[in-house]
């Protein structure tokens, strides 16, 4: 299949490029800054995707599918973020329909909801409405676990390594459903290759509370740190103040709101439809620890 992929230079996007290419698909990369990407991956067709203003439609024309994994996650202003992400997604969906793309797969989040505390989850839910549930697919991954990247998992580990102190917001009682990076790619590929439509939640079926997960993760990865219960509101206000002052911090305020959005989501029916299972968090952490140990040799 010819697959146009937005966000091909991002954390999930890079893994999808590799997974889909190994599976024999012809990947066309759509990224915000094409030149650096072309130098790293000269074998791939590459064009600009800086939504909503710039979109290289020549890479979309003739594609069998478009996977929309691009998202401006570091934009803190809600107005600018809505323009980039929600309006940008709407423009992409309209372009795909006009160019006759048979299927579009939108990468959302398992916490997507119109009533979520964080703008990220609310905007993902709003962007889902840009697609046709009878033809297109929405994939809602859980917390993606990998040994590299810049997702929420890496932010949490970065805070532990930098501060040697792990704040447990709200006591760490939020239900967390994780998803290994390779299982995320495998699930998206099965939606793509099966030309499936509708919404798919991808994550481990049984959640682990956030506090026990962080204790297990730091222990498995050899990070020495202390754990401190922190009230949610003071932590949020502190992060927002630091962001206004331009202070670098390992955790963003939107990420904190994302943690507050966590809830248990049933995934068994979606996993059965895709014919796959997802490794539990403990097994994922063991594998990540082994990968990091091997890389350190």
Quick one: average pLDDT of 252-258?
Answer: 77
Indicate the SS3 state at residue 292: helix
At 115, list the tokens.
Answer: 């009533």
Specify the pLDDT at position 250.
67
The CA distance from 96 to 99, in Å, is 5
Indicate the SS3 state at residue 31: strand
Lowest mean pLDDT among 19-23, 135-139, 155-159, 207-211: 155-159
Look over the chain and give the mean of its residue pLDDT values, rounded to a whole number: 91
Question: Residue 25: phi, psi to the nearest 5?
Answer: -85, 150
Quick one: average pLDDT of 40-44?
Answer: 94
On the question of pLDDT at 249 being above 80, the answer is no
Residues 6+ apart with CB under 8 A from 31: 6, 7, 8, 9, 13, 37, 46, 47, 48, 49, 70
Q: Residue 147: which pLDDT band, with cuts at 50, 70 and 90?
A: confident
Q: Residue 272: which pLDDT band, with cuts at 50, 70 and 90?
A: very high
What structural domains and CATH numbers belong to the chain?
A: 2-146+178-204+265-278 (3.40.50.720)
Quick one: average pLDDT of 284-293?
Answer: 91
Quick one: average pLDDT of 165-179?
Answer: 87
On the question of pLDDT at 287 being above 70, the answer is yes
Q: Contact 69/75 with Cβ under 8 angstroms?
A: no
At 60, list the tokens.
Answer: 């979309």
Higher pLDDT, 238 or 28: 28
Give the residue among 282, 122, 292, 112 at the shortest CA–CA distance from 207.
282
The CA distance from 108 to 90, in Å, is 14
Residues 6+ apart with CB under 8 A from 142: 110, 176, 177, 178, 179, 201, 202, 203, 204, 265, 267
Quick one: average pLDDT of 270-276?
Answer: 97
Q: Contact 187/200 with Cβ under 8 angstroms?
A: yes
Specify the pLDDT at position 252.
75
Specify the pLDDT at position 152.
76
Lowest mean pLDDT among 35-39, 121-125, 249-253: 249-253
Quick one: average pLDDT of 138-154?
Answer: 88
Q: Contact 19/25 with Cβ under 8 angstroms?
A: no
On the question of pLDDT at 63 being above 80, the answer is yes
Q: According to DSSP H, which parts of the chain are helical? A: 11-22, 34-40, 78-82, 88-98, 119-128, 152-163, 181-193, 210-220, 232-244, 253-260, 268-274, 281-296
């Amino acid at each position: 299949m010819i697959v146009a992929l937005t966000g091909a230079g991002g954390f999930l996007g890079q893994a999808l490029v590799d997974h889909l290419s190994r599976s024999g698909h012809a990947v066309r990369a759509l990224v915000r800054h094409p030149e650096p990407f072309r130098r790293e991956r000269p074998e791939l067709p590459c064009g600009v995707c800086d939504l909503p203003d710039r979109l290289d439609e020549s890479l979309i024309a003739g594609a069998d599918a478009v996977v929309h994994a691009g998202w401006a996650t570091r934009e803190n202003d809600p107005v600018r973020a809505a323009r980039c992400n929600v309006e940008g997604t709407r423009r992409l969906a309209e372009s795909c329909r006009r160019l006759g793309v048979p299927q579009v797969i939108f990468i959302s989040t398992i916490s997507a909801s119109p009533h979520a505390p964080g703008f990220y989850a609310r905007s993902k839910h709003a962007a889902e409405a840009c697609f046709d549930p009878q033809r297109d697919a929405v994939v809602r991954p859980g917390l993606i676990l990998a040994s590299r990247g810049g997702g929420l998992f890496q932010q949490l580990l970065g805070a532990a390594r930098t501060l040697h102190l792990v704040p447990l917001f709200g006591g760490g009682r939020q239900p967390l459903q994780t998803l290994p990076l390779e299982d995320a790619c495998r699930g998206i590929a099965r939606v793509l290759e099966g030309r499936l439509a509708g919404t798919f939640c991808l994550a481990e079926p049984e959640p682990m509370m956030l506090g026990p997960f962080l204790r297990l993760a730091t222990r498995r990865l050899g990070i020495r740190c202390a754990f401190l219960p922190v009230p949610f509101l003071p932590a949020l206000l502190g992060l927002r103040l630091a962001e206004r002052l331009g202070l670098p911090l390992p955790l963003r305020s939107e990420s904190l709101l994302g943690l507050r959005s966590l809830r248990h989501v049933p995934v068994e029916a979606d996993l059965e439809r895709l014919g796959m299972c997802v490794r539990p968090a403990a097994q994922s952490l063991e594998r990540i620890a082994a990968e990091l140990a091997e890389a350190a040799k």
